[in-house]
């Protein structure tokens, strides 16, 4: 498996709209096991996105999906920056398919 | 929903054993939607744990579960520290139950 996590910083007041765009645009991505959009509890402009993919290739391919491209284009003007971006190698855990290893 | 994410730093050479303890001890926790244990790709001693819970109370209650207590006791000597620990409010996303909002 392949994982990503990090913060996306919205432009002031745009966090809710940005979250909606991310959730909507990432609903149907082959090989995506988990893509969670969450509010940061300390920074009112920050979102956390945590991702688990079947493999790195699935993630790379997702960037060519029409819905993802549209979401990125719509989201870009609402993004002020990124923080704490890390790649991970998910091992296992609750909520992951047993055979996803 | 309620979320947590952060790094757990293992004592040198103990990362795999620590990951196994965490995965095993957290397999059956009421209200736990997702508990993913992942390797950090830059620090050979670090794990990332990303959690999504039905609510904060479910997370708090999990700390009293026998399996979780046993895992914490077994893991403690293998833990050198914690980093990047954040609370989040998960909104939605792929891999989350539709009605988990």
Considering only residues B9 and B98, tell me which one the structure prediction assigns the higher pLDDT: B9
Q: For position A95, what pLDDT does the model report? A: 85
Contact at 8 Å (CB) between A10 and A18? yes
Q: Percent of chain A scored above 70 by pLDDT?
A: 96
> pLDDT per residue over B14-52, tens digit each?
999 999 999 999 999 999 999 999 999 999 999 999 999
Q: Domains of chain A: which residue ranges?
A: 2-91
> pLDDT per residue over A37-67, tens digit each?
999 999 999 999 999 999 999 999 999 999 9
Q: For position B99, what pLDDT does the model report? A: 61
Confidence of residue B101 (pLDDT cuts 50, 70, 90): low
The CATH number assigned to the domain with range A2-91 reads 3.30.70.100
The mean pLDDT value for B75-95 works out to: 96
Measured CA angle at A1 (ends A7, A5), to 5 deg: 5
In chain A, which residue's Cα lies nearest the Cα of B93?
Answer: A36
Mean pLDDT estimate for chain A: 95
* Distance (Å, whole) CA A30 – CA B15: 30
In chain A, which residue's Cα lies nearest the Cα of B84?
Answer: A84
Q: What pairs with residue B88 in β-bridges? A: A40, B3
Q: Do B34 and A5 touch (CB under 8 A)?
A: no
Considering only residues B101 and B30, tell me which one the structure prediction assigns the higher pLDDT: B30
Interface test with chain A among B5, B93, B100, by most A beta carbons within 10 Å: B93
Instruction: State ipTM.
Output: 0.92
Q: For position B50, what pLDDT does the model report? A: 97
Contact at 8 Å (CB) between A72 and A1? no
Q: For position A100, what pLDDT does the model report? A: 61
Contacts with B13 (C-beta within 8 Å, 6 or more apart), sequence order: none
- Identify the architecture of domain B2-90 in CATH: 2-Layer Sandwich (3.30)
B98 touching A, CB under 8 A?
Answer: no
B93 touching A, CB under 8 A?
Answer: yes
Q: Which of residues 30-69 of A touch B (CB under 8 A)?
A: 32-42, 48, 50, 52
Q: For position B95, what pLDDT does the model report? A: 85
In chain B, which residue's Cα lies nearest the Cα of A87?
Answer: B41
Q: At what angle do helices B15-25 and B66-75 cross, to 10 degrees?
A: 170
């Amino acid at each position: 498996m392949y994982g990503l996590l990090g913060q996306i910083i919205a432009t002031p007041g745009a966090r809710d709209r940005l979250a909606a765009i991310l959730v909507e645009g990432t609903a149907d991505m082959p090989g995506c096991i988990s893509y969670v959009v969450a509010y940061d509890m300390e920074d009112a402009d920050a979102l956390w996105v945590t991702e688990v993919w079947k493999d790195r290739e699935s993630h790379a391919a997702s960037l060519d999906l029409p819905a993802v491209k549209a979401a990125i284009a719509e989201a870009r003007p609402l993004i002020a920056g990124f923080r704490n971006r890390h790649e991970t190698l998910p091992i296992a855990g609750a909520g992951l398919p047993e055979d996803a290893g």
